[in-house]
Amino acid sequence: MISVKGATKRFGSIVAVDQASFEVGRGEVVGFLGPNGAGKTTTMRMITGTLQPDEGEILFDGRPVADDLTAAQARIGYLPEANPLYDEMLVCEYLEFVARLRDLSGPAVRSAISAAVDETGLEEVFFRPVSEISKGYRQRTGMAGAILHRPEILVLDEPTEGLDPNQRVEIRKLVSSLGSERTVILSTHVMQEVEATCGRLLVISRGSIVADGTVAELMEGGRGRTRYTAEIEGDGVTAALRALPGVASCETTAANGRTKVRLESVDGAELRPGIFNLAAAEGWVLWELGREQATLEQVFHELTAAPDEGEAAVVVEEEAATGAPAAAKDSAAAETPAATEDPAATKAPAATKEAAQ
């Protein structure tokens, strides 16, 4: 369905995306993860055709997007992180506006709006001004605009950003529902969201794809280290445990005459039998011994933790090109109004600019 082959995008001297390659199959719901400034938004905008790669190519069903950009964009629904809505419009007026930009006319407009409203649950606010609806309903409105033309591909950039926990749950359910009939690429920083909605993950760090797989596969791969905790009463605990075969690191703290221990093993080595046998041999009292379940947050940190040198340059991924702070956006240049690439479209919100191209 979607093939990204060696895509590279530069903004001046900053390499925002560096030789990114991956494929997304038809009907997949893929989570796109990465720290701020890693290149997520830039990659997503290249997929939607808003930006063109400096090197490499994006293909839909084997055909380069650049060969017929208008036809490719007709297959995509795109919700940017900065949801582009007109506050002075009613929700129904905004959806009619987007439908016209998508070249829908006559009965097709009403039919498309009715289907999108039903799918996104906007009935309650359909005739209300956009300025008066909640953030959750604003996101739903943006999603409704993105699916009006029944796209095969849905690209959602931080769809739950700024929502409260209840709103996040509702949007997750909506994304899962939308993904049942479409190919979905979803960027987010919320790990629970990824685990609840995505069948596969792509992790990008400093412009490069560093991991690709299911949640289970990424957690199993967590750099080969498994964590254990123990609470032991006895003498010489720290030194003895550090000398135990398979121990990569050992942190200890003293509390109430006992030693609390946190260990990491190398290459997934099982440490519990060795710890138990050592405790018996040394005459220790073993109050607690357990194996920690790795979390997606830990794996994400391991995959994306930046080295001390050069880290600042990564965080400002595209700041040099736009002047916008990367910390406030996923990719500063990627969140710049589409007028940067298409001056003629400056009056339309970002989600509809692609439609107008």
Per-residue pLDDT tens over the stretch 308-318: 533 443 344 44
The average pLDDT across 166-182 equals: 85
CATH architecture of 224-292: 2-Layer Sandwich (3.30)
d(CA 39, CA 14): 11
pLDDT band at 30 (very low <50, low <70, confident <90, very high): very high
For the ranges 86-95, 211-220, 265-274, the one whose mean pLDDT is highest: 86-95
Q: 160 or 118, which is more confident?
A: 118
Q: Is 211 in contact with 204 (CB distance < 8 Å)?
A: no
Assess whether pLDDT exceeds 90 at residue 180: no
Q: Is 286 in contact with 260 (CB distance < 8 Å)?
A: no
Assess whether pLDDT exceeds 90 at residue 162: no
Residue 306 pLDDT:
60
Residue 133 pLDDT:
96
CA count, 13 A, side-chain hemisphere, 291: 13
Check: CATH 3.40.50.300 for 2-206+306-356? yes
Residue 169 pLDDT:
87
- Of 196, 226, 202, 225, the C-alpha closest to 214 is 202
Residue 349 pLDDT:
45
CA count, 13 A, side-chain hemisphere, 4: 26
d(CA 290, CA 272): 8
135-149, 180-194, 270-284: lowest mean pLDDT where? 180-194
**Boundaries of every domain in the chain:** 2-206+306-356, 224-292
pLDDT band at 126 (very low <50, low <70, confident <90, very high): very high
Assess whether pLDDT exceeds 80 at residue 355: no
pLDDT band at 300 (very low <50, low <70, confident <90, very high): confident
Residue 102 DSSP SS3: coil
